[in-house]
Structure 1
Amino acid sequence: MTVPFQKYHGTGNDFLIIHADEHVPDRGELAERECDRTDGVGADGILFLALEETFDPPRVVMTLVQPDGETAPMCGNGARCAAEWAMDRTGTDSVMIDTQAGTLRADRDGEDVVVEMTDLTFDPDAIPVDADEPVLREEIEGLEVSVVNTGVPHAVSFVDDVDDVALEEVAPPVRHADVFPKGTNVCVASPDGSGGFRQRTYERGVEGETESCGTGAVAIAVTARRLGLTDADPVDVSPPGGDLRVSFNDRGRPTLAGPVEHEFDGEVAVEPPVEP
């Protein structure tokens, strides 16, 4: 048996979208199999979405299952893809997104989809990280990082040039460090010369570098402002897959803006093939 999917990406951060009503016996197994870029469709995760059109604006319930088969509470680019999917189906320019990290509002702004992110925190208990006070510019497993939760944990390191960092070597020890009981994403950022930053991110659950990470872009922007590295608003953040923009609205919450593209549609088997 197969189920239909739509493939979307936000600045290269790509996802299979499957309607939550579709019968998938084991979502984790499906994500492990189909997110594989060699033997599956290839993606940074599967978004299971349920659309509730009776609300104004419409609501979409988002569950992200990552390539390791685990569920992540939040994903910035995933939320933007979910918003585009829902707006395509409802003919609206605004939707509400229910995630495990909270409810977000998303709006279309020209070519971009803008999502208001969850409340961020540097509080160690809320991240979580084993520390008595906020971790700002402290060395963990050989990398100087600042730690923040923007829906998911991030360890952010500011470097001279992100291209000079062997991310696949330096990130895993930090991602798995004992001080992070639930693990962490690892971001490196370098100034772009105009108040913004270039970004590379090693993502927990993907267990590798991704073309873009929305919660990581927000983590870089809010940490840079906390450390006095920029006073720009918006803060431009450029991962390998494109350009994102982090702003701060009148409620003091960050917003994440950037393009979203619908790549193609297809079908996947809901159960693994039987071995001969």
Structure 2
Amino acid sequence: MIRYEKYHGTGNDFVIVDANADVPDWSAFATAYCDRETGVGADDPDRETGADGVLVLDLDAAPTAPEVEMRLYQPDGGTAAMCGNGARCVARWVADRTGTEEVIIHTPAGTRRAEVHGDEVAVEMGVPSFDSADIPLNRDRPLVEEQVEGWEVTALTTGVPHAVIFVDDVSDVDVEAAAPAVRHADVFPEGANVNFAAETASGFDQRTFERGVEGETDACGTGAVAVAAAARRIGLTDDESVSVSPPGGDLTVLIPRKGPAVLRGPVTREFEGELSPTPTQP
């Protein structure tokens, strides 16, 4: 058996396992334990079953700030280069072990710095890009407020590809029905996360259909940054600090004129336990 811990950032929940664990197939491990009916926590009615991903972490207690290598395996068995709420959970996991307030996180999308202040964690998210090659898109020019599968879409990358769609009220959208056509649209050769966002008095509401999860999640950190950056791009806000509210809670996104975006919000440690490294598939 191997040890694990469960954390969530505004409802975006992850199973966290040390990279030294003897797991022969991380993709199969993630598919089994992220399942929302039979996955981790299914044996306890008071716990949320399954997860939005498995974070595999290799911690190095460096002499300055602790450094950790982060790999994310998604429920479909694939991987993602970056996950904002996942990175915030990683920083809190490291802080819980080392007492540090600063963590350096190495991801496939680049190195990110995080600051931990109690339950609040802020992480650098890189500079959002609307460049077609960065996203990537099957075209040579940006995609900003153009029709894709019947929706007006703005596309960008915040470490992973995102399609942002602004609507009057996110509660009026059937996300599970509407998002897949955009997620698999020909213009996105690697697919895209699909965000529906609505302007509010305090910022923006957000609902996200996540690539790899293949369903709606309670929060998406890279999506929150995408919503804030897209809103700035099309003129819905000129603020550097933007409040974005997915169903799981409130996040703050800082989009400076220069430099990386920063995602801030709460992180909660849920529970811990032991799992078989070779799960039986349901």
Normalised by the length of structure 2, the TM-score is: 0.94
| 1:256 aligned onto 2:255 | no
1:165 & 1:248 partners in 2: Cα distance? 27
- The one-letter code sitting in structure 1 at the alignment partner of 2:222 is T
Cα shift at 1:274: 8.6
8 Å CA contact 1:15, 1:44 repeated in 2:
yes
- The one-letter code sitting in structure 2 at the alignment partner of 1:198 is D
Gaps of 5+ in 2: 41-49
Gaps of 5+ in 1: none
1:64 & 1:55 partners in 2: Cα distance? 26
What residue is the counterpart of 1:220 in the other structure? 227
What residue is the counterpart of 1:57 in the other structure? 65
| 1:90 aligned onto 2:113 | no
Cα shift at 1:208: 0.1
Deviation per residue, 1:103-141 (Å, 9 max, x gap): 000002454100011222101111011122110001111
2:201 partner SS? coil
- The one-letter code sitting in structure 1 at the alignment partner of 2:273 is G
Q: How many positions carry a matched residue from both structures?
A: 273
1:52 & 1:183 partners in 2: Cα distance? 33
| 1:140 aligned onto 2:139 | no
1:181 & 1:274 partners in 2: Cα distance? 30
What residue is the counterpart of 2:272 in the other structure? 265
2:126 partner SS? coil
2:139 & 2:280 partners in 1: Cα distance? 46
8 Å CA contact 1:197, 1:237 repeated in 2:
yes
| 1:201 aligned onto 2:235 | no
Cα shift at 1:251: 4.7
CA RMSD of aligned residues (A): 1.3
Which stretch shows the higher mean deviation, 130-139 or 99-108?
A: 130-139
8 Å CA contact 2:242, 2:252 repeated in 1:
yes
Normalised by the length of structure 1, the TM-score is: 0.96
1:43 & 1:144 partners in 2: Cα distance? 31
1:115 partner SS? strand
Which stretch shows the higher mean deviation, 115-124 or 24-33?
A: 115-124
1:114 & 1:150 partners in 2: Cα distance? 15
| 1:160 aligned onto 2:159 | no
- The one-letter code sitting in structure 2 at the alignment partner of 1:150 is T
1:63 partner SS? strand
In the TM superposition, 1:66-77 aligns within 5 A as 66-77=74-85
8 Å CA contact 2:101, 2:115 repeated in 1:
yes
1:216 & 1:240 partners in 2: Cα distance? 13
2:32 partner SS? helix
8 Å CA contact 1:136, 1:146 repeated in 2:
yes
Change (3 A) 1:59 1:170: same
What residue is the counterpart of 1:16 in the other structure? 15
- Between the aligned residues of both structures, percent identity stands at 56
| 1:36 aligned onto 2:51 | no
8 Å CA contact 1:143, 1:170 repeated in 2:
no
What residue is the counterpart of 2:25 in the other structure? 26
Which stretch shows the higher mean deviation, 59-68 or 106-115?
A: 106-115
Deviation per residue, 1:85-106 (Å, 9 max, x gap): 0111111100100000000000
1:261 & 1:67 partners in 2: Cα distance? 21
8 Å CA contact 1:185, 1:201 repeated in 2:
yes
What residue is the counterpart of 1:241 in the other structure? 248
